[in-house]
């Protein structure tokens, strides 16, 4: 007996709702982690530019930890490890407020920040020193020159690798299912185990992941075009 | 206004400035000439501490700029610097380049800063290019925007580091016109340039530098018209391309 491919079974009624909730959760998790990653990435970059060696080592340690420890382990550390260190009221608060989502966002965001910091750093390196000098010559201090002149240009140059990181972050949100975040992969497993339509369920998930990934890539190509800088 | 006292500057083991002394009075225009590597650019870069010095002193308004009391960022607002490669900020429009310092350093409102920026652009003949990006401007226009950017900060001195050297020949004139206007308006200026016609016309004094020292200084007419040092005459022949000097 041949396998009959039939999407109707997984795309109707409550199963469709589960997929939609999964997509919404995946997107929310991506957004939350992304904001944290960008903020932390910029902070790490700025810290690294302060000419104090111990600070540089700290950032290097941060980057190496997040790049060399499996992301799933990092998520477990945040979900199982960190709360056990917290005082009881904090633990209760986390449990009462979708702690798994919050902690997954933190784990994903901090890991992504390590890569983003590297991307921004190479963007900064590609800005000629003369730009910094010109800003200083007008009377800007170090922070002003970095903030108004160097970083805005470096961020534009960093757009393609940052889009890449965004894509990776988006796909890595699927790991959050391991701690029970009801994102797309988690919901897909649910649909699959209720309907026994294994192939259809994952076909739908695959199509959704692909569609959103292409969306992110298109956004990247568009902003890359718009932000392109010409001669100084 | 600006005084150099026995200024020494080393790049590693290479001495870039060797005991340079000299004074630039208010409203004066000094032109620095000399072969590349002679220390001209390095000398003017010491005025705003873009280059630190290892010996001697640089004074602006009788204050040692290396002193701890000097707020270097305030000093730099008073001393405009124009670079050979313009160094406009490519992510900002022409007017945006000019208003950045006004809004962020002077605390001016956006409208007021724009008005001031437009006035400066008009002064260099580029009012209609206010909203163009640097990439859309020619080299000469970019350099004029860069000059306007410095002027907007109300500098008391303008330093020019070979402002026309990166330009195509047909664009040199438009930049020199702006510089001549500035000189005529009484701006104190130190210009590193090979434009001897400009030097002859506006310089109060020419300093001829070689190997980190001022070898010769004097009025343009005296120096250029064969009274100067034999090395200077040799140098002038190489930059004159014939005809420019003895016009």
pLDDT for the residue numbered B241: 57
Residue B74 touches chain A, beta carbons under 8 Å: yes
Inter-chain residue contact B105 with A137, CB threshold 8 Å: no
Q: Final residue of a domain: which of B153, B173, B204?
A: B153
CATH architecture, range A13-226: Orthogonal Bundle (1.10)
Q: Give the pLDDT means over successive 10-residue stretches in chain A (232 positions).
A: 77 89 95 96 88 90 95 95 88 85 95 93 92 94 91 87 93 94 93 90 94 91 70 46
- Classify strands B2-11 and B14-24 as parallel, antiparallel or unpaired: antiparallel
- Percent of chain B at pLDDT > 70 equals 95
The total domain count for chain B is 2
Q: Could you tell me if residue B46 is inside a domain?
A: no
- Answer whether residue B146 shows pLDDT above 90: yes
Task: Give B103's Cβ-side CA count (13 Å radius).
Answer: 15
User: What residues 76-115 of chain B have any CB closer than 8 A to a CB of chain A?
Assistant: 76-77, 80-81, 83, 85-91, 100-101, 104-105
Give B216→chain A minimum CA distance, Å. 29
**Residues with Cβ < 8 Å from A97, sequence gap 6 or more?**
none
B143: nearest Cα among B163, B165, B129: B163
pLDDT, residue B221, reads 82
- DSSP E strands, B36-91: 55-60, 63-64, 79-82
Residue B210 structure tokens: 């070689």
Cβ neighbour number for residue A110 with a 10 Å cutoff: 20
Contact check, Cβ <8 Å, B136/A136: no
Mark out the alpha helices in chain A (DSSP H runs). 13-49, 53-68, 71-76, 82-85, 88-96, 99-125, 129-138, 142-144, 151-157, 159-172, 184-195, 198-226
Query: Does residue B72 register a pLDDT over 70?
Result: yes
Length of chain A in terms of residues written: 232
Q: Which of B105, B138, B153 finishes a domain?
A: B153
Distance CA B212, CA B35 (A): 10
Q: B234 in a domain, yes or no?
A: yes
Asked whether residue B73 is domain-assigned, the answer is: no
pLDDT at A229: 59
Could you give the CA distance from residue B105 to residue A82 in angstroms, rounded to a whole number?
A: 44
CB-nearest partner of B50 from A133, A138, A148: A133
As a whole-number percent, the residues of chain B with pLDDT over 90 amount to 72
B148 and B163 assigned to the same domain = no
**CA-wise closest residue to B116 among B126, B108, B128:** B108
- Does B71 map to a domain? no
Co-location of B228 and B181 in the same domain: yes
pLDDT for res A149: 94
Same domain, B161 and B146: no
pLDDT at B226: 60
Tell whether B144 is covered by a domain: yes
In a domain, B85, yes or no: no
- Shared-domain flag, residues B113 and B178: no
Question: 10 Å Cβ neighbour count for B191?
Answer: 29
What's the ipTM? 0.87
B186 part of contact set with chain A, CB < 8 Å: no
List own/partner pairs for B68-77 with CB under 8 A and 24 or more apart. B72/B48, B73/A136, B73/A139, B73/A140, B73/A141, B73/B105, B74/A139, B75/B48, B75/B49, B76/A136, B76/A137, B76/A138, B76/A139, B76/B48, B77/A138, B77/A139, B77/B101, B77/B105, B77/B153, B77/B154, B77/B155
Same-domain status, B125 and B169: no
Q: Are residues B210 and B135 in the same domain?
A: no
Residue B67 included in any domain? no
Q: How far is CA A99 from CA A66, A78, A83, A124, A183, in A?
A: 21, 10, 9, 36, 14
CA distance A110 to chain B (A): 29
Q: For residue range B225-245, list pLDDT tens digits in order.
A: 765 667 777 777 777 654 444
- Tell me which residue in B73, B81, B90 faces A231 most closely, judged by beta carbons: B90
Both B142 and B161 in one domain: the answer is: no
């Amino acid at each position: 007996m041949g396998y009959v491919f039939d999407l109707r079974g997984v795309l109707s009624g409550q199963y469709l709702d589960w997929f939609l909730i999964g997509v919404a959760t995946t997107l929310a998790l991506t957004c939350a982690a992304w904001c944290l990653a960008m903020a932390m990435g910029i902070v790490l970059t700025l810290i690294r530019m302060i000419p104090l060696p111990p600070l540089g080592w700290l950032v290097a340690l941060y980057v190496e930890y997040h790049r060399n420890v499996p992301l799933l382990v990092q998520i477990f550390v945040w979900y199982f490890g960190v709360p056990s260190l917290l005082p009881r009221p904090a633990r209760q608060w986390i449990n009462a407020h979708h702690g798994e989502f919050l902690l997954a966002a933190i784990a994903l965001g901090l890991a992504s920040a390590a890569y983003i910091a590297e991307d921004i750093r190479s963007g900064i390196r590609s800005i000629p020193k003369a730009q910094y000098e010109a800003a200083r010559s007008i009377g800007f201090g170090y922070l002003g020159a970095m903030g108004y002149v160097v970083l805005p240009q470096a961020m534009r140059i960093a757009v393609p690798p940052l889009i890449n990181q965004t894509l990776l972050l988006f796909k890595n949100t699927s790991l959050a299912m391991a701690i029970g975040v009801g994102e797309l992969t988690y919901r897909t497993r649910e649909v699959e185990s209720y309907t026994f339509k294994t192939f259809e369920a994952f076909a739908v998930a695959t199509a959704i992941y692909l569609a959103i990934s292409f969306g992110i890539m298109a956004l990247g190509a568009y902003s890359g075009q718009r932000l392109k800088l010409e001669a100084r | 206004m600006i005084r150099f006292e026995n200024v020494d500057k080393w790049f590693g083991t290479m001495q870039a400035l060797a005991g340079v002394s000299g004074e630039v009075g208010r409203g004066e225009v000094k032109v620095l000439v000399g072969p590349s590597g002679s220390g001209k650019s390095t000398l003017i870069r010491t005025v705003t501490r873009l280059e630190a010095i290892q010996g001697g002193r640089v004074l602006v308004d009788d204050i040692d700029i290396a002193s701890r009391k000097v707020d270097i960022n305030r000093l730099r607002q008073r001393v405009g610097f124009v670079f050979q490669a313009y160094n406009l900020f490519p992510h900002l429009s022409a007017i945006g380049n000019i208003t950045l310092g006004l809004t962020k350093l002077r605390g001016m409102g956006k409208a007021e800063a724009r008005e001031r920026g437009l006035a400066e652009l008009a002064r260099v003949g580029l009012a209609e290019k206010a909203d163009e990006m640097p990439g859309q401007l020619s080299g000469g226009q970019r350099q004029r925007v860069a000059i306007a950017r410095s002027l907007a900060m109300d500098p008391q001195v303008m330093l020019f580091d070979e402002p026309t050297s990166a330009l195509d020949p047909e664009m040199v004139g438009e930049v020199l016109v702006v510089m001549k206007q500035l000189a005529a308006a009484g701006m104190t200026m130190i210009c590193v340039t090979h434009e001897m016609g400009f030097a002859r016309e506006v310089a109060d004094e020419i300093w001829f530098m070689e190997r980190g020292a001022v070898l010769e200084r004097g009025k343009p007419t005296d120096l250029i018209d064969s009274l100067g040092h034999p090395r200077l005459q040799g140098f002038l022949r190489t930059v004159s391309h014939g005809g420019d000097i003895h016009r």
